[in-house]
Structures are given as C-alpha cells and as structure tokens.
Amino acid sequence: MIRAPFQLHRPDSIDAAVRLLSRCAQNGEDAKLLAGGQSLLPSMNLGLVAPAHIISLNHVTGLDAIRRDGETLAIGAGVTHYALAESEVLQTHCPILSETAACIGDVQVRNRGTLGGSIGHFDPAADYPPVLVLLDAAFQVVGPGGERTVAAQDVFVDYMTTSLGADEVLTAIRVPVLSSDTGTAYVKFTRVEGGFAIVGVGAYLRLNPDGTCRSIRVGICGAAPVPVRLTTIEDTLTDRAVDDTFIEAVADAAYETAHDPVAELHADADYKREMVRVFTRRAVKTALERAT
C-alpha cells in the first residue's frame, strides 16, 4: 500500500504541468509526474519514493499521438506500449520500436504503461533506451525556459538517472523513418516472459545492392548501467560482406564492450557478458533476414 500522503494535481496543459513542477522545486517539495503509473505506483507501494505532489498528465491532450512528419515519426510521450506495438505507422516505418513495445510486461502493463514514463523512470533493464539510442532518437522536452531537443545518447546518464530537469516534461520522441531495405530486430533475455531484460539487444542493418554492409548499428541494455551503442563497428564493418564472420565480429565487439556489466540476482557479471554475445548474434542474424 502507499505509505505516505500526497497531493494530486491534474493539469490540462503542458505549461500548467511545468508551472506546478517549478513551484514544487522552488519550495523544496518532491514532485513526480504520473502517466501510466506502471513504474511510479510500485515504487510508492514499496516505499522507495514518497513524493509530496503527484502531477498527472492524463488530462493533457496531444500526448498520445503517433504521426509521420516528413522523414521522422513524432510519438507522444503518453503513447502506451500497446499503441506502439499495434501502430501500423510504426510497423511500416520503424518496426523495431513496435517490436520492442510488444515484448514489454504483460497485457495489463502494455495497456497502461507509456513510452515517456519508461524513459523518465529509466530502469537500466528497460527495453526502449538501447533501441532509441541506436535510432538516434530526439526527445522534445518542455521546461520553464521553453522547449528544447535532447539526443537520446545525452538523456541516459547513469543508473536510473536522466539529464531531464526536475521541472521539465518530456512531450514527444522523434525517430527516423527507416528505408525499406533496412532490417531491424530487438531480442532480449529474461527470466520470465515479459520480464525486464537481463540482456536486451537491438540491431539495425542496411545493405548495399551487392549485399555488403551499408550501415550497422547495435544498442545493448544489460552491458552497463546505461545503454551501450557499439560505435566501434559502425565504420570498421562498412562495405564488408555480411556473413558468419561479420556476425561474429559484431558479437565479439559486444562482448568486449560489455567488460563490466552490473551483476544482479538472476545473472552474475560473467554470465551477462556471455549473454550479450549470444543475443547480439541473434539480433544481427534476424536483422539480416529482414533486410534481404
């Protein structure tokens, strides 16, 4: 049960939510944003957080839209995991994000949990961060000074810590429209189906007409307290034949990058490191199948 009293606020606009956050910060009072509640409410029930103020975003319009805007897709921070998984726009133009959403939690969690809530909470075992990092996603954030855009790689800075200010609200996430010759995949290793990732790997592979690698990107969660992108392979493997040797080179690079993964209850560091290699191999193989 929730152990401490709090005051609930229900603003009807982002500006009103920002004003509430700013006022709480100025008064030295802890405030939390509420979207789907799938991260915040369990934390409150366990006594891990006890905010004096909860600011619900459920009465703010416009946060649940998915639309194409030129060569990018604009996704509202209030879009649920279920809506992401079922979106025809995403399935057509950025299928890796739809695939990632479909493997989060169970039906109840996917129907209530939101993209923005997951990002703001930033559990290092969450599925979205490594995918958003490899996609070069951009986050639109509104604060007292107006709107700013933050690159995904600059948002996740430490264990359960983001660069978003205490008086800022994440409103939208922009990802690129992927070309039809791009193969993507997200795979994860969990203790139970729908659970948090012990290791999660996203892969993006685009081929040249001759079947060699035009572009390769890999993002990993579970290898470090923040999502890891294998930038070392993005130049060295370009124009290489995409064969078993290529895939093993990517898997080996992932293993070397995951040199100090955080041990947890269900997997020690050495085991997680080996699983990074295994699931990187699987992700790249699946991306290759989808690119050809």
Q: Which of 17, 38, 56 is the last residue of a domain?
A: 56
* Domain count of the fold of the chain: 3
pLDDT at 201 (0 to 100): 98
- 85 and 52 in a single domain? The answer is no
What pLDDT score does 3 carry? 77
Query: How far is it, in rounded angstroms, from Cα 128 to Cα 41?
Result: 20
Burial class (CB in 10 A: 0-12, 13-18, 19+), 221: buried
211 and 159 housed in the same domain: no
Residue 61 lies in a domain: no
The model's confidence at residue 57, banded by pLDDT at 50, 70 and 90, is very high
**Phi/psi of residue 112, nearest 5 degrees:** -110, -40
Residues 164 and 131 in one domain: yes
pTM, 2 dp: 0.93
Can you give the CATH number for the domain in which 280 is found? Answer: 3.30.390.50
Specify whether 107 is located in the same domain as 48.
no
Q: Which of 246, 227, 239 is nearest to 287 (CA)?
A: 246
* Residue 197 near residue 190 (C-beta atoms within 8 A): yes
Asked whether the predicted pLDDT for residue 76 surpasses 80, the reply is yes
Whether 85 and 167 map to the same domain: the answer is yes
Residues 255 and 286 in one domain: yes
Residues 47 and 143 in one domain: no
- Amino acid identity of residue 61, one-letter, is T
**Given this model, what pLDDT does residue 266 score?**
82
Residue 267 inside a domain? The answer is yes
CATH classification at residue 114: 3.30.465.10
Domain co-membership, 74 together with 136? yes
Q: What are phi and psi of 260, to 5 degrees?
A: -145, 60
Read off the pLDDT of each residue in 33-55 and give the average, rounded to a whole number.
90
Tell me whether residue 2 is in a domain.
no
Tell me if 277 is assigned to some domain. Answer: yes
> Band of the pLDDT at 106, cuts 50, 70, 90?
confident
Residue 1 maps to a domain? no
Looking at the domain assignment, is residue 249 inside a domain?
yes
Q: Note whether 170 and 197 are same-domain residues.
A: no
Residue 252 neighbours by CB distance under 10 Å: 14
The overall average pLDDT reported for the chain is 93
pLDDT on residue 265: 81
Domain shared by 164 and 93, yes or no: yes
Alpha-carbon distance values, 144 to 14, 52, 60, 167, 216 (Å): 11, 21, 17, 7, 38
Q: Write the pLDDT tens digit of every residue in 257-283.
A: 998 787 888 888 899 999 999 999 999
Determine the pLDDT at residue 69: 93
Same domain, 196 and 279: yes
What mean pLDDT is predicted for residues 71-93? 96
**pLDDT at res. 119:** 93
Domain boundary, last residue among 140, 159, 176:
176
State the CATH number of the domain containing residue 27.
3.30.43.10
Domain containing 25: what range? 7-56
Domain boundary among 125, 146, 176: 176
Residue 21 inside a domain? The answer is yes
- Tell me, yes or no, whether 110 and 201 share the same domain: no
**pLDDT over 80 (residue 24):** yes
In a domain, 166, yes or no: yes
1 pLDDT band (50/70/90 cuts)?
Answer: low
